[in-house]
Amino acid sequence: MRFGNPEYFLLLPAVPVAALFFFLMYRRKKALLSRFASPLLARKLSSSAGPARYILKSTFFCLFLTFAIFALVRPKFGVKMEMVERKGVDIMIALDISHSMLAQDLTPNRLERAKFEIRKFINLLKGDRVGLIIFAGESFVQCPLTLDHAAAAIMLQSVSADWVQIQGTALAEVIKQAVKAMSGTSKRNKVLVILSDGEDHEGSVTEAARAAAQEGVVIYTIGIGSEAGVPIPMNRGGSNVVYKKDKDGNLVMTRLNPVTLEKIAIESGGKYFHAGTDLDLTRIYNEVSKMEKSDFGMTKAVVHEEQYQIFLLIALIFILIEFFISERARKKAVWKGRFE
C-alpha cells in the first residue's frame, strides 16, 4: 500500500486526544450534577441519558475522525497499466563516494546525507529521466537514464564508499562519463548534478566542463561539507573511531573546496550551490523544472489507484450515525396511578 499524503498520519494522535476529551467531559458532567442533587435524584434526572449512549456517540465520532485521517493520507492499493505521455529533462546525478565523503560534519556523514537528499530529489521528479554516476578516483554509471524512478532510488540505496578502489576526486572524468551517458539524446534539456566536497585531484575540469556545454549539458554543482576542515573516519572498533592519517602520522583533514565546483558551473552555464552542512536539493529541482521539456513519447506506466473514497465514505457514515443518535432515550409514559 502507498500513500499520497503520508504527512497527515501526524494527525492520528488526535483520535486518542478526542477520546480522552469525551471521557473527561463525562466525568465533569457527573461531578457537576452531584453538586446540585443527591445520588438518587441524580440517577432519576439522568435515567434517560445514561453512559451507554454517550459512549456510543463518542465511539462513532472517534471512528469518523480515524477514517477521515486515512482519507486525507490518500491510500493507494491496486494497480493498473496506463499509457502516459512523458515529457521532461534528462538528469544525471553524480555522487562523490571518495573517503572524504565519510566525514561527519553532516549527520550521519556526508555520503549518507547526500544519498538521503538525492532520494528526496528523485521523488520530486515527474516525467524526467534520471540516471546515477558514482565516482572517486574513477567513475562508472550505476544507473543509466531511466523513467523508473523507483529503480533508480533502489540502486542509489546500495551505494557505498568501498565500491571504488582508486581514491581521489576525478571531477573531469565524471563530467566526461556523464556526457557519454547522455550522448544518445538531443543537444538540449540535459542536466548533470554533481554532489562533492570539491577536492579535485586530477585537474583539467575547466576543459571538461566546456566540452560538456558544447554537447548541451548544463552542470549544477553542490558543495558539501565544512570549509573549516574535519577528520576522515576510516575504521570503527566498537565505540572507537580511527581517523585517517598521513605517512608522518598527522591527521588528514578534509574541507570543502568551492572554487573548483564554481568553475565547473560557470563554464557549463549552470549554477554552483553552496550547501556546506545544510544540504537541500530543492533549489536544484526548482531550476530544472523551469527548463524546456523534451518529448519522450508514450510509455506504459504502473498507476496505483486512489482509494481514499472508501475511507471518506465510511467516515461520513460514522458521523451521520453519531449525529442521529440522541443523547437521551425516549421513554413511553405509563400511568401508574395518581399517587405513584
- The percent of residues above 70 in pLDDT, for the chain, comes to 81
pLDDT, average across residues 294-302 = 61
Q: Has residue 48 got a pLDDT over 60?
A: no
Q: Cα separations (Å) of 103 from 98, 170, 250, 259, 276?
A: 10, 18, 16, 20, 12
Mean per-residue pLDDT, 196-223: 85
Between 63 and 281, residue with greater pLDDT: 63
d(CA 179, CA 318): 59
Tell me the average pLDDT across 286-295: 77
% pLDDT > 90, the chain: 34
What is the pLDDT of the chain when averaged over all its residues?
82
Report whether 156 contacts 119 (CB < 8 A): yes
Q: What's residue 133's pLDDT?
A: 95
What's the pLDDT tens digit per position in 141-182? 999 999 888 899 999 998 988 877 777 778 888 999 999 998
So what's the pLDDT on residue 60? Answer: 94
pLDDT of residue 33: 66
Q: Which of 14-23, 201-210, 261-270 has the lowest mean pLDDT?
A: 201-210
- What is the per-residue pLDDT for 46? 58
Contact 130, 93 (CB under 8 A): yes
Enumerate domains of the chain plus CATH numbers.
2-77+306-324 (no CATH), 90-292 (3.40.50.410)
| pTM to 2 decimal places | 0.62
Backbone angles phi, psi at 6, to 5 degrees: -65, -20
Give the separation between CA 192 and CA 179, rounded to whole angstroms. 9
Range in 13-27, 137-151, 158-172, 237-251 the model is least confident about? 237-251
Q: What is the pLDDT of residue 91?
A: 93
Ordered alpha helix ranges (H), 182-307: 205-214, 258-268, 282-289
Does residue 107 surpass a pLDDT of 60? yes
Please say if the pLDDT value at position 205 is more than 90.
no
Task: Compute the distance between CA of residue 95 and CA of residue 102 in angstroms, rounded to an integer.
Answer: 13
Q: What would the grid cell of residue 74 be?
A: 490518500
Q: Which pLDDT score is estimated for 284?
A: 86
Q: Evaluate if residue 237 carries a pLDDT over 70.
A: no
Which of 13-22, 99-108, 217-226, 249-258 comes out lowest in average pLDDT?
Answer: 249-258
